[in-house]
Structures are given as structure tokens and as C-alpha cells.
Amino acid sequence: MTSETQSKFPSWKAPESIPGIRLFWSKGFLHYAWVSGLFSVANIFFLWLFIDIFVIPTVLSSIIVIGGTFFLRYVVFHIFKVM
């Protein structure tokens, strides 16, 4: 490559070397992202199930589902050593 070509194509940086991206380019963040997404869907499903199908009052269902998935999320994060 000549110096003229090098000036047209700046050197490419790996994502790990970019300061703002480094945090999100890790195995831990990917585990955190898919576990959080999975638990968001689970919250919606279980709230629908408890409120509409089992006809449990909304406040009680919310406490059970949100509290239960909160502790379960911690266990899953601990298993994958995200925390």
C-alpha cells in the first residue's frame, strides 16, 4: 500500500479497543442481555397467566411474579457467573 492509499482507508480498530464499546463487547454482557430479555418475556407471560387465566388479583400476581423472577434472575446470573 502506498501512503496515498493508506490515507484514504484509515486503520480499522477492533471493537475491544474502542472505549465505549469495550463494556458491551464481553461475554458477560451477552449473557446479561439474553437472560434479561428472557425474563422480560417470562414476566409478561406469567402475569398474563396469573391475572387472566388463574384470576388472581393483579397486585398479588405482580408481587409473586416480579419477586419470583427477581430471585430466579439472580440465580441464573450466578450460574453463568455474570455477576
Query: Domain count of the chain?
Result: 1
Looking at residue 77, its pLDDT comes to 81
For residue 45, the enclosing domain spans: 3-79
pLDDT one-digit tens code per residue, 25-59: 777 778 788 888 999 999 999 999 999 999 999 99
| Average of per-residue pLDDT values in the chain | 81
pLDDT one-digit tens code per residue, 57-67: 999 999 999 99
Half-sphere exposure of residue 38, counting CA atoms within 13 Å on the CB side?
11
- Res 9 pLDDT > 80: no
Distances (CA, A) of 16 to 10, 32, 33, 51, 62: 17, 18, 18, 45, 40
Quote the pTM value: 0.66
Cα 77 from chain centroid? 10
